[in-house]
Amino acid sequence: MSSLVKATGLVLHTVRHGETSLILTVFCRELGKVGLMAKGARSKSKLGAAAGLELLCEAQFVFYHKANRDLQLLKEWTAVNAHRSLRAELDSLTVGSAVSELLAKCLRENDPHPELYDATVDVLKALDQRPVAPLPILWLFELLLFRALGFELAPGRCAVTGAPLSPPFSSPVRYRLSDGAFFGPEAKNVAPDGELSAAAFAVLSRLSSASPRFAGRLNVTSDVKREMSAFLARYIETHLPVVGKLRSLKALNWGKTATGKSS
């Protein structure tokens, strides 16, 4: 027997079904990731125009929920925030798309993470403000995702000596992917998987306790952008079901935008 459920959610993915319907992947604050069948969403039905069910839109969803069913039947929805402002900038839209792609791939069905949901909403609101540097907002989101799923990075202290790891450093900082550990210069007999430059580690340290709006103002060099993106991609691949570069990021040249502005 199905029950009528009301939940707040973000649209992570949409697929056309038939001539008039949509299949939605939605991250609900109360329920986690849920698949919804939106019958008639692309027609002049009671669900209205499909524009309100676009990627990254936040809405109140009312649907018939039945355990062990892959797709729940959407009854109605009410838009909360369409995040239209971030769609006006390619940089912000690309980062937002990467956020949705990570959530769609990494979250399990019906596994709620309300704190991660709230953090994601804050990230999207920061992207709505057309930040100067959208890419560090993605890095911050990835750190929040690791924390929520139990793979939090630990840049604050050396995993061997326990000494605080406080920038600035004059030399690279070694790391281990299996547990997100970092090692200071005094740590001996460790088998690191790689190292971050002093500049990249400083960015990582600042982001570990930053807000999305602060991250959007970070000024980082091209070398640090490449290093941070590569490191976080390796960490994601070690712990989560994501292999290779996110499809969402392939559309964007982080060094330049159409306006010549550095991201």
Confidence of residue 44 (pLDDT cuts 50, 70, 90): low
pLDDT at 130: 92
The CATH code of the domain that includes 230 is 1.20.1440.120
Residue 186 lies in a domain: yes
- Alpha carbons 221 and 38: distance in angstroms, whole number: 44
Residue 256 lies in a domain: no
Indicate if 77 and 181 belong to the same structural domain.
no
Indicate if 142 and 193 belong to the same structural domain.
yes
Burial label for 258, CB within 10 Å (0-12, 13-18, 19+), is exposed
Query: How does pLDDT run across 50-91, given as a tens digit for each residue?
Result: 556 889 999 999 999 988 888 999 998 898 999 989 988 989
pLDDT at 244: 65
Q: What average pLDDT score do residues 186-196 get?
A: 94
Q: Name the residue range of residue 239's domain.
A: 85-251
Q: Look at residue 49 and tell me whether its pLDDT is greater than 60.
A: no
Residue 66 lies in a domain: yes
User: Among all chains, which residue has been given the structure tokens 């008639």?
Assistant: 40
Confidence of residue 262 (pLDDT cuts 50, 70, 90): very low
Indicate if 95 and 161 belong to the same structural domain.
yes
> Among 129, 143, 182, which residue's Cα sits nearest to residue 159?
182
Q: Look at residue 129 and tell me whether its pLDDT is greater than 80.
A: yes
Residue 257 lies in a domain: no
pTM (2 d.p.): 0.89
Indicate if 146 and 158 belong to the same structural domain.
yes
Please check whether residue 13 is in contact with residue 104, taking contact to mean a CB–CB distance below 8 angstroms: yes
What is the pairing mode between strands 58-65 and 72-81? antiparallel
Lowest-pLDDT choice from 2-11, 39-48, 87-96, 211-220? 39-48
Indicate if 203 and 129 belong to the same structural domain.
yes
Peptide bond into 168 cis (omega under 30): yes
Q: What average pLDDT score do residues 201-207 get?
A: 95
Instruction: Select from 82, 103, 130 the last residue of a domain.
Output: 82
Indicate if 27 and 140 belong to the same structural domain.
no
- Alpha carbons 15 and 21: distance in angstroms, whole number: 9
> Among 236, 249, 261, which residue's Cα sits nearest to residue 98?
249
Question: Which residue intervals of 107-162 are DSSP H helices?
Answer: 114-128, 134-149
Residue 217 DSSP class = T
Total tally of structural domains belonging to the chain: 2
CA–CA distances in Å: residue 68 to residues 1, 35, 72, 110: 11, 12, 10, 10
Indicate if 43 and 74 belong to the same structural domain.
yes
Indicate if 126 and 233 belong to the same structural domain.
yes
Instruction: Select from 48, 82, 116 the last residue of a domain.
Output: 82
- Alpha carbons 22 and 81: distance in angstroms, whole number: 19
Indicate if 143 and 78 belong to the same structural domain.
no
The CATH code of the domain that includes 48 is 2.40.50.140
Q: What average pLDDT score do residues 93-112 get?
A: 93
Query: How does pLDDT run across 109-118, given as a tens digit for each residue?
Result: 989 999 999 9
Indicate if 152 and 54 belong to the same structural domain.
no
Q: What average pLDDT score do residues 230-240 get?
A: 92
Residue 260 lies in a domain: no
CA–CA distances in Å: residue 76 to residues 46, 47, 48, 68: 8, 6, 9, 21
Indicate if 115 and 126 belong to the same structural domain.
yes
Q: Is 130 left (phi over 0), alpha (psi -120 to 50) or beta?
A: left
Burial label for 64, CB within 10 Å (0-12, 13-18, 19+), is middle
Indicate if 154 and 211 belong to the same structural domain.
yes
Residue 259 lies in a domain: no
Instruction: Select from 56, 82, 108 the last residue of a domain.
Output: 82
Residue 263 lies in a domain: no
Confidence of residue 166 (pLDDT cuts 50, 70, 90): confident
pLDDT at 112: 95
- Alpha carbons 201 and 151: distance in angstroms, whole number: 18
